[in-house]
Structure 1
Amino acid sequence: MINMLSVAIFSGLFFASNQLSAGVPFQKCWTQWYDRDDPSGSGDWETLSHLHKENPGKICPKPVAIQAQTLTGLSVAAAGDVIYRSDTTAGFVCRNQDQRNKKCNDYRVRFSCPPSYCNEDVCWTKWYDRDNPSGTGDWEILSYLNKENPGMICPKPVAIQAQTLTGLSVAAAGDVIYRSDTTAGFVCRNQDQHNKKCNDYRVRFSCPPSYCDEDVCWTKWYDRDDPSGTGDWEILSHLHKENPGKICPKPAAIQAQTLTGLSVAAVGDVIYRRDTTTGFVCRNQDQHNKKCNDYRVRFSCPPSYCDKDVCWTKWYDRDNPSGTGDWEDLSDLHKENPGKICPKPAAIQAQTLTGLSVAAAGDVIYRKDTTAGFICRNKDQHNKKCSDYRVRFSCPPSYCDENVCWTKWYDRDDPSGTGDWETLSDLHKENPGKICEHPQYIEAVTTDTNTPSTSTGDIIFISSPTKGFVCRNEDQDCGGCLDYKVRFGCPC
C-alpha cells in the first residue's frame, strides 16, 4: 500500500508538472494521437522511444509537452488511474499492478512539437538510394546526397524517413540503426547487426513544397461527410467507392482543411486519424466543445489522377532580381493582367527564365503559394542574388483560351428575395451591347471575397454561359445563397 502510494505521488508530480508545461503558450503544435499499446499485458506502454521508431519523422526528437487520454476521450484525472510515467522523456506508462482493479484503461498520447511537425506546407522528396550494404553497411549520408543531387534536397530538412527497398519500415526490418537524423542522414552498419548484414535502405526528406517530386499532383478536394453525426469521416475506402478512378489506390500524401480553407493546425481540432491508408477522421467526442469543424481532403497521386478541369495560364515575369529580389506577387499580377488569372488559383509553378525548376536552381524561396504568389529574396541566397523567375497558375480552362475576352463583372441581383438571379437575358436587356450574344464561358464569384461559386458550398441551380447564373435560396441546406457577381467569356 505504501509502495502504491509513493508511486501515485511520484506519478502525480510527473503529471502535474506536465500539465503545467502544456499550458504555457509555446508557439508549437500538437501531433496526431498515437496508440501503440493496450493494457492486455503488464499495462499500457506508450513509450516515446518506441513511438519514434514506429513513426519515423512524425514526432520531434524533444517534445515540449505530452497529453494523454483514454480512447474514449477521458483525461487521465477523469479516468482515475495511477500513472507510472507521463513526461516528454519516457512518454506515458500505466502499469496494471498499480491499479486497484489491476487493469489500466487504454490510452493514447500526443506531443507538442515545433510547427514543422504539423505544418502542411512541407512535402516529402522522392526516395534516394545511393548505397547498398555490400561494403561496411548502407550509408545514405545527407552531405553526399546533396552533392549528388544538387538542388533536389533542402539544406535543412525537417524530418527523415527510411525504408527498405521492399518497403519495410526500419522497425519492421529489425536492423540496429547507427544514425537516422536530418543532420547526418541515415547509416546502418553491418557490424552492428546480429547477422552482420544490413538490409538495403532508401531515404527521403521533409522539405518545403518546392522540393517535392514534380511527378505527382493533388486531386481535387473531397467533402463526403460533415460533423452532424459522430464527426467528420472522410474515409479513403468510401471516397474510392464514391469516386471510382478519381483517387489513386495508394496516395503518397493527404491534406485536410476546413471548408473555409483553414488548416487543421489553425483550427485546433483533435484529429483521430489522418493518413493515406484510412483517410481523415475527426470525432466529435474528442473535441473540447464536442463538435468538429467540417473538413475536406485531397490526395497526392500520379499526374493521371489530376483534375483535368483545370489548365495552366501562360508564364508571367513581372519582376527581376535587380532590386531586393524577384517579386512575382499574385496581387500585382492580377492588377497588371486583368481577367487573365483566376481569383483563386489551384496551384502555382515557378521556373527560371532558362527553364530550370526551383529545385534545380537551388535558390532559397521565401514564398511560393496561391495566396501571395512567388517571392525570392536576394538576402536569403548564399551569393546574395536570386535567379530570374517566371510563374504560372492552375485555373479553370477559360483562363488558358487565348481567343477569349472577358466582360466586366456584373451584379444585378442579391439573394434578399428568392435567391441571386444573374440571368443572361436580364443582363442583356440591362446592358445593351456590352455582352456578346453567345458567350462561351461564364464565371461566378462572391462579391465580397471573390470565392468561386464551386468552392462556396452553395447548391447552384444554373451556371451556364447561355443562360447565366442562378442560386436559389430554397435549395440551400442552411440559410440563403451568398451574393454573387458574374462575367462572361466572349470571342475576341
Structure 2
Amino acid sequence: MCSIFVHIHFCGITVPSVIYSSECVTRWFDSDNPNTNGGDSELVTVLLGMYPGEICPNPLGIEAQTLSGQPASQTGNVFQVTPWFDRDNPGGLGDYETLSLLLIRYPLQVCTQPIAIEVTTISGTPVLPPGNIFQVYDPLQGFVCVNGACQDYRVRFTCPLSFCNTTCVTRWFDSDNPNTNGGDSELLTVLLSVYHGYICPNPLGIEAQTISGQPAYQTGNIFQVYNPTSGFSCVNQGGVLCADYKVRFTCPEDWCSSECM
C-alpha cells in the first residue's frame, strides 16, 4: 500500500474553481505511515493538532499524493473514510455520537473496529482532542461532549478495507419470537446453526428491523446485544414487550463469492 500525504487549499476568499492563488495553498503534510493502524490516515483533525497555525480550520479543498508525487487517483488504493453521521443533538446532557449507538442508528454503514475518528461541528469546524468538555474522543468508542456548552457535532470513521470493500449482504433471518425467553433474540450462534451455510461465521455488520420493516432504533425497545459478533437481543422491560425482529448481516466479499445465500 502506498503512503499518502496531502496538501490542503485554504483561506476564505473567492477564487476561480480551477485557478487557486498560491498564497492559499498549504505546504504538503504527512502525519502517518501505511504500516500503522491498517492503512494511512491524514485526517484534518489530527493534522491541525500536529501543525498548529499551518492549516486553516475550514479548508476549501484537498489534494493527496504519494511521497513520490503520484496522484492518489492513480494508485489503485481504496480510500475508506465513511460518510458523516449525526444521531444526537446537544440538548440535555450533551451530544452523544457513540459508536455503539451509531451502529444501531446507521446499520451496515459504520464498521465495528474503526481505525480513526474525525469530528466536526455541523457547520464543518474541526474539533480537536483533547477538550475539557469532551468525555469521549476515540475511534472505538465514538465521541461524547458533555455540559451545556456543547455544539451539534458530527463524526466519521476510517474503516478497514475489508469493511469498505464488501457489497456482500445476507437475506433477512428470524429465529425467535418476542413472547419467548423474555424478549426476542437473534443470536449469531443460533442463526449459524438454524441457517447453516447462509450466514458467514465472521460478519462485518448487522442490521435489525421489525418484521414489518421498522428500523430497530425507532421502536424504543431495549437492546441487550446489537453487534455482528454476537447478533441481536431485545429484552422485555417495564411491561413493554419487544417487537418481533429480523436481522441481516454484511459478510466478507470472498465469502459471498464462494457461498450461496
**Residue 30, structure 1, aligned to residue 76, structure 2:** no
Q: Highest relative contact order (Cα 8 Å, sep 6+), 1 or 2?
A: 2
Shift of 1:40: 5.7
Superimposed CA distance per residue, residues 361-417 of structure 1 (whole angstroms, 9 cap, x where no aligned partner): x9xxxxxxxxxxxxxxxxxxxxxxxxxxxxxxxxxxxxxxxxxxxxxxxxxxxxxxx
The residue that corresponds to 2:259 in the other structure is: 359
Deviation at 1:210, TM superposition (A): 7.0
Which residue pairs with 1:13 in the alignment? none
Cα separation, partners in 2 of 1:45 and 1:196, compared to 1, 3 Å = closer
Q: Distance in 2 between matches of 1:148 and 1:107?
A: 42
CA distance in 1, matches of 2:198, 2:157: 30
> Which residue of 2 is the match for residue 134 of structure 1?
179
TM-score after normalising by structure 1: 0.33
1:143-222 equivalent positions in 2, closer than 5 A:
143-190=189-236, 193-195=237-239, 197-209=241-253
Are the aligned partners of 2:162 and 2:252 in contact in 1 as well (CA < 8 Å)? no
Shift of 1:196: 5.3
What secondary structure sits across from 2:259 in the alignment?
helix
Structure 2: tracts of 5 or more residues without a match = 1-30, 40-79
Query: Match of 1:30, SS?
Result: coil
Cα separation, 1, equivalents of 2:140 and 2:148? 22
Matches of residues 30-429 of structure 1 in structure 2 within 5 Å? 30-39=81-90, 43-76=94-127, 83-85=133-135, 86-88=137-139, 90-95=141-146, 97-98=148-149, 104=151, 106-119=152-165, 121-136=166-181, 137-190=183-236, 193-195=237-239, 197-209=241-253, 358-360=258-260
Deviations along 1:150-176, whole A, 9 cap, x unmatched?
A: 322122211111111121222211222
Q: CA deviation at 1:35?
A: 1.7
Partner-residue secondary structure (3-state), 2:83: coil
Q: TM-score normalised to the size of structure 2?
A: 0.58
Runs of 5+ in structure 1 lacking a partner? 1-21, 213-349, 351-357, 363-492
Q: Which amino acid aligns with 2:171?
A: K
User: How far apart are residue 143 of structure 1 and its match?
Assistant: 3.0
Instruction: Verify the 8 A CA contact 1:152 1:211 in the aligned structure 2.
Output: no
* Structure that is richer in helix per residue: 1
Alpha-carbon distance, 1:115 to partner: 2.2
Runs of 4+ in 1 over 6 A off after TM superposition: none
Task: Tell me the amino acid that sits aligned with residue 173 of structure 1.
Answer: T
CA–CA separation in structure 2 for the residues paired with 1:53 and 1:203: 12
Shift of 1:114: 2.2
Instruction: Tell me the CA shift for residue 131 of structure 1.
Output: 1.9
CA contact (8 A) 1:162 1:204 kept: yes
Structure 1, residues 172-230: CA drift from partner, whole Å, max 9, x if none?
Answer: 1122222233333222344xx22252211101111245766xxxxxxxxxxxxxxxxxx
**Correspondence list, 1:441-452, <5 A:** none
Structure 2 distance, partners of 1:150, 1:49, is 28
CA distance in 1, matches of 2:211, 2:168: 21
Change (3 A) 1:110 1:201: same
Residue identity over aligned pairs, in percent, reads: 43
Shift of 1:42: 6.0
SS at match of 1:138: strand
CA-CA distance at 1:124 after TM superposition: 1.1
What's the CA shift for 1:54?
1.5
Residue 126 (structure 1) shift: 0.6
Give the root-mean-square deviation of aligned CA atoms: 3.2
Q: CA deviation at 1:130?
A: 1.9
